[in-house]
Amino acid sequence: MLILSIWEWVLPIGIGLLVGILISMRKRYDYTKIIPLDPEEFRLNMRKGQLIDIRSEDDYHQKKINGSRNFPRRSSFTALHRLRKDQPIFVYDVKDTALLRQVAKKFIRKGFNPVYVLKGGIEGWPFSLKE
């Protein structure tokens, strides 16, 4: 009876300690490397890195920022081998949304940094677009 009552409190404490150790050892990412840029800053610097459009293929073929490559949201992480980790990523979507931020965070987790995000997305792009 005494052994059973010891296990009733030792087991939960042991599991709690193990979970705490695992949480403290997980890898942390520096999301401050996700930098939102105004359209003017984005345009001036986008040639220094890789310009990624995460919209659907149909939207991409209708209009795009000249020099961009299309990596639709769902397939953008299956084609990471086509991107260089030694160059910054410039990414945009239709608007500056939470989904765009999630994609930027995933780029950081995959080892790409810095990641520049276009404020306002392509809808807020005041410059000419390629059709």
Residue range 26-41, pLDDT digits in tens: 778 888 899 999 999 9
Confidence (pTM): 0.77
For residue 117, what is the domain's CATH number?
3.40.250.10
13 found inside a domain: no
Distance, in Å, from the CA atom of 99 to the CA atom of 115, rounded to the nearest integer, reads 14
Residue 49's pLDDT band (boundaries 50, 70, 90)? very high
Q: How many residues does the chain have?
A: 131
16 found inside a domain: no
Distance, in Å, from the CA atom of 34 to the CA atom of 39, rounded to the nearest integer, reads 15
The structural domain count of the chain equals 1
The closest of 92, 86, 84 to 67, measured between CA atoms, is: 92
Residue of 63 and 2 predicted with greater confidence: 63
37 found inside a domain: yes
